[in-house]
Amino acid sequence: MFTSNFFYYITLAIYCFGYYLAAGLAINIAYHRCLSHRSFKLRKPLERIFVTLGLPAGTPIQWAGNHRFHHQYADEERDPHSPVRDGFWHAHVGWYIGTKNPFVCFLYSIAGPLRTVYDGWNRPRTNQEHNHLAGDVATDDYYRFISRPLPFMLACWLHVSLFFGAAYFVWGAFGFVVLWITAVIIYNLGDAIDSIAHIYGERPLHAKHFARNNRLLGLLTLGEGWHANHHVFPGSARHGLLPHQFDAVWEVICLFRHFGIADEIRVPLPEQIQAKLITPQKRG
């Protein structure tokens, strides 16, 4: 036991915050902006490290293929997770497990590490119909290997054993519970991009879809909440394209570029953004 309550709580807070940051950066940098949209190129060893940290989000091939399909049909009939069409809970988590039952979706949304354990078995076996859209991801030997059912399941279970085991070993049951809550927050922030960010927020750009810029999500998801911008310019490595839109992931990408470990970075030109803006007159 720690002799100082302050030291006990501050170290646990740092651990959980580090877990939150690692998950956010792994998913948003590697899975989303790098693999799914190829909006920039990251040095392969670092890319694979980020993907490995983010594995509870799903297999790299399935995640990229499904996300690309979502962009093709955002909020249309074929969209796998549109709250406009299928309701909040199905878009939030139900599409992962094939249900629209709000109670089942709620239990899944608060399952934390149990969700990771279940997903380790479930995710490589479901929602595989769009994998052909991620053929470029599948050419990577490591991503192809880790997307297989057994390696992915073992990786997810190892993730839970290591991170939650460490929390319990160092901080006891309280540390385990706090990390559980942290995992629930991380999962639901990611899920909120599919649900809340298509319902609540601003739509400052011309588009057929209903993706929105949500300021709270923009902050909490490290920049992913500028979702209207992203859907209009999906190939952009920067999502916070308009004034006063802080994009933490973009700042990290710029840092990587400074150190020479990221390049081929794509962002729209100012005139391209301006051309898509809805003027106040047109909004009214």
What's the pLDDT at 156?
98
Residue with tokens 């479901």: 126
What's the pLDDT at 282?
45
DSSP E strands, the chain: 41-42, 262-263
Q: Which residues contact 273 (CB under 8 A, 6 or more apart)?
A: 205, 233, 241, 242
- pLDDT tens digit at each of 284 positions of the chain: 555 788 999 999 999 999 999 999 999 999 999 999 999 999 999 999 999 999 999 999 999 999 999 999 999 999 999 999 899 999 999 999 999 999 999 999 999 999 999 999 999 999 999 999 999 999 999 999 999 999 999 999 999 999 999 999 999 999 999 999 999 999 999 999 999 999 999 999 999 999 999 999 999 999 999 999 999 999 999 999 999 999 999 999 999 999 999 999 999 999 999 999 986 434 43
DSSP string for 208-246: SS---B-HHHHHHTTTTTBHHHHHHSTT-S----STT--
Q: Where are the domains of the chain?
A: 5-206
Record the pTM: 0.94
